[in-house]
Chains A and B, each alone.
Chain A
C-alpha cells in the first residue's frame, strides 16, 4: 500500500515523432483504484509499464511512497503486475506459478504454501492448485494471474487490460470480483483498459488519455457530468454524447436553424467563445411535440428497457443525433421533433475543445 505519483513522467521511443507518454502528472492516493483509459495508442499501457519498470522513464519521475523510481529495476519496486495475456509459466502448476515470486524472495516452503493457499481461497482456485495453465479455462487463468499478484502483498498492483481476453459474460462477473477484491485488500491499484464501462464502474478515479497526453483525471461521476474537453465528453458515456457546432448569439446558441437557450449563467460564461461545440447526452434529449429541433429518424435500437433513436437534424443531413426514448418510439424515416434539456448542456470552445464554464 503506497502512494504513487507520476510527476511529469515522459517516455519517448527512439525514432518516434512524439512521446508515447507526455509529461504525465497523476497523484494517486494510497489504496486508490485508478483506471487509465483511452483509445489505442494513447499511452495508457506505456504509462503503466513505466510504473512497473518495464519501460524507461525518459523525463520526469515516478514516485512510490515518495521514493523516486527512476533507474530502479522492476524487482526492487515491490509491484505486482497482471498481464493482458496472463503470462503464466506454462511448465509450472498453478500453485508454483503463484508461489514463484515468493520463492525468488527466498521465503521458505511452508510460508509460501500458506500464502498461496490463502490467495487461492480468495479466488476460488483451491482445487486447481496442482493443474498446469494449459488445463485451465480462460477465466481460471485470469484468476491465477491475479492470485500471483495478490500473493506477493505488494505496494502496488498494476493491471494491463486483464479482462480483455474474456467473453462478455465472464467479463462482467470478473469485473465486480476485481473491484471487490481491491476494496478488501486496499492495495493501490493502477488499472489499464480501453473499455470505458470498466473504467466507469471500477475506478475511484479515472485518467483519460489521448496521444500520450492526460485529458482529465477525475472520478467517474465528474468525468460524466463535467468532461473537461470534447474528447472526454465523447469518449465517456455510451451511447456517445451528441455534439453540434453552434454559434454564440445574443440570447442563445444557434444550431443550424434552431436556437437553444442555456441558462443565463452558462451564457455569460460562454462569452468570448463565439464558435462552440455543444454537447448533450442522449438521455437529455427527448421526443417532444414542442421541441426546438427537427430530426429525421434513420434507425432505432430497441433494447427492451428503452430505445435509442439515431437520426440527423432535418436541416443538416450530415449531422448525427441520438435520442433516448421508451418502448413507444418512432419508426425509421419519420420526422420528429425533439427537445433539449438545457440544464445539461455542455459547452466547449470550438477551437481548443476545452470546456467552457463550469
Chain B
C-alpha cells in the first residue's frame, strides 16, 4: 500500500455539484418529462372525464354551445338509466364475459403450455396461424356467421355469443399465456421431474402459481374485450341475449337530445370493467410487462 497524501483536495471544499451541472440537468429533465406525462395523460383521459361530467347534467345543459364545466349536478339521468331495464343486459354481458373467459383460460393454458415448454416442430407455424386469425376484420366474417347462426337457430342466443367471444379471445390468450410460460425457468420443471411429479401435478403445483399473475392479466384482457364487444352482439342478438353495449346504443336518438342520458348509461356500463381493472391493476401491469422485459 502506498501512503496517501494528507492534504485534502481543493475540489472537496467547493460547492457540491447537486444543484449545478449534470445532476441538475437530470432533475429538470425529469420534471419536464413529468409534466409531459401529465399532459398526455390528461388529454387521453379527458373524453372519459367529460363523459362522466355530462352524465350529471340535464339534457339542456349537455347541449350548451359553450360547454359548461361548472353546473348544478343532477342524478336524474342515472335514475332514468336504472329504471330503463338494464339488468337483463348486464346479466347477459356478465354471463357471456365470465363463461367465455373461463373457457378461454381452460383452453389456452394447455395450448400455450404445449407451445412453450414442450415445443414441437410446427410451433412457429401454429403461433402464426393463431395470430393471423386476428388479421381478418370481423366485418368480413359476419355474413357467413350470421347465416350459419340463423340456420342453426342460434340467433339471439347467449351461448352463441359465448362461443364467438371464446373464439375471438383465444389467440390473444394463447400468445399472452405462452409468453408467461416462457418465463418459467426450465430448471424448475426438471426439479419437479426429479421429484417424481407427473405432468399434471407439475403444472398445477409448480407452474400455475408462477404464472398466476399472467393468468390474471390474460383473464382481465379477455373480460375487457368480451364486455366491450359490440359488433357480434348487435348482429347476433335481439331481445333475449342482448348485452350492455347494445343496450347503450339504444340511447342514441335520431330525433331528440340524448347526450346526458347516454353519458350516464355509458358510465354505468364501463364501471364493472374499470373496477376490475383497478382491483387487478398490479397484476395487470406486471403481467403485461413481464414478458416484455426479457
Contacts and interface: CB of A to CB of B under 8 A. Distances in A.
Check whether chain A touches chain B (CB < 8 angstroms): yes
Interface of A: 52-54, 73-75, 79-81, 83-85, 87-92, 100-101, 104-105, 148, 152
Contact of A87 (B187, B205, B209, B210): B187
29 contacts: A54-B190, A54-B193, A73-B193, A74-B194, A75-B198, A79-B194, A81-B190, A81-B191, A81-B194, A83-B187, A84-B187, A87-B188, A87-B190, A88-B191, A89-B191, A89-B205, A89-B206, A89-B209, A90-B210, A91-B209, A92-B205, A92-B209, A100-B192, A100-B205, A104-B196, A104-B197, A104-B201, A148-B191, A148-B195
B272 interface: no
B185 interface: yes
Contacts of B210: 90-91
Given A87-B187, A89-B209, 16 more contacts: A54-B190, A54-B194, A75-B197, A75-B198, A81-B191, A83-B187, A87-B188, A87-B190, A89-B206, A90-B210, A91-B210, A92-B205, A101-B194, A104-B196, A105-B196, A148-B191
A160 to B, nearest CB: 9
A83 B197 contact: no
B188 A75 contact: no
Nearest to A106: B196
Nearest to A80: B194
A83 B191 contact: yes
A83 B186 CA distance: 11
A297 to B, nearest CB: 21
* Interface secondary structure of A, over-half rule: loop
Contacts of A100: 192, 195, 197, 205
A215 to B, nearest CB: 28
Interface of B: 185, 187-188, 190-198, 201, 205-206, 209-210
A80 B198 CA distance: 16
A42 to B, nearest CB: 21
Contacts of B197: 75, 100, 104
Nearest to B197: A104
B65 to A, nearest CB: 59
B132 to A, nearest CB: 30
B109 to A, nearest CB: 16
Given A83-B187, A85-B187, A90 B193 contact: no
- Counting chain B CB atoms within 10 Å of each CB, which of A80, A88, A89, A92 scores highest? A89
Contacts of B209: 89-92
Contacts, number: 62
A81 B205 CA distance: 19
A52 B196 contact: no
Q: Which 6 A-B pairs have the closest CB atoms?
A: A91-B209, A101-B195, A87-B191, A87-B187, A75-B196, A104-B196
A172 B188 CA distance: 27
B201 A75 contact: no
A92 B194 CA distance: 17
A73 B187 CA distance: 16
B193 A85 contact: no
B63 to A, nearest CB: 56
Nearest to A145: B191
A84 B191 CA distance: 11
A104 B193 CA distance: 10
A111 to B, nearest CB: 16
B274 to A, nearest CB: 30
Nearest to A105: B196
B180 to A, nearest CB: 14
A84 B201 CA distance: 23
A54 B197 CA distance: 14
Contacts of B205: 89, 92, 100
Contacts of B196: 75, 101, 104-105
Nearest to A154: B194
A1 B187 CA distance: 25
A52 B193 CA distance: 10
B194 A75 contact: yes
A81 B201 CA distance: 19
A54 B195 CA distance: 12
A209 to B, nearest CB: 21
A74 B185 contact: no
A296 B196 CA distance: 61
Contacts of A89: 188, 191-192, 205-206, 209
A52 B188 contact: no
B242 to A, nearest CB: 42
A152 B187 CA distance: 19
Contacts of B185: 85, 87
- Counting chain A CB atoms within 10 Å of each CB, which of B193, B195, B196 scores highest? B195
Contacts of A101: 194-196
Contacts of A75: 193-198
A73 B188 CA distance: 17
Contacts of A87: 185, 187-188, 190-191
- Counting chain B CB atoms within 10 Å of each CB, which of A53, A88, A101, A152 scores highest? A101
Nearest to A90: B210
A79 B209 CA distance: 26
Contacts of B193: 53-54, 73-75
A88 B191 CA distance: 8
A54 B185 CA distance: 15
- Counting chain B CB atoms within 10 Å of each CB, which of A52, A53, A80, A104 scores highest? A104
A9 B85 CA distance: 75
Nearest to A100: B195
A117 B198 CA distance: 25
Nearest to B189: A87
Contacts of B190: 54, 74, 81, 83, 87
A85 B188 CA distance: 10
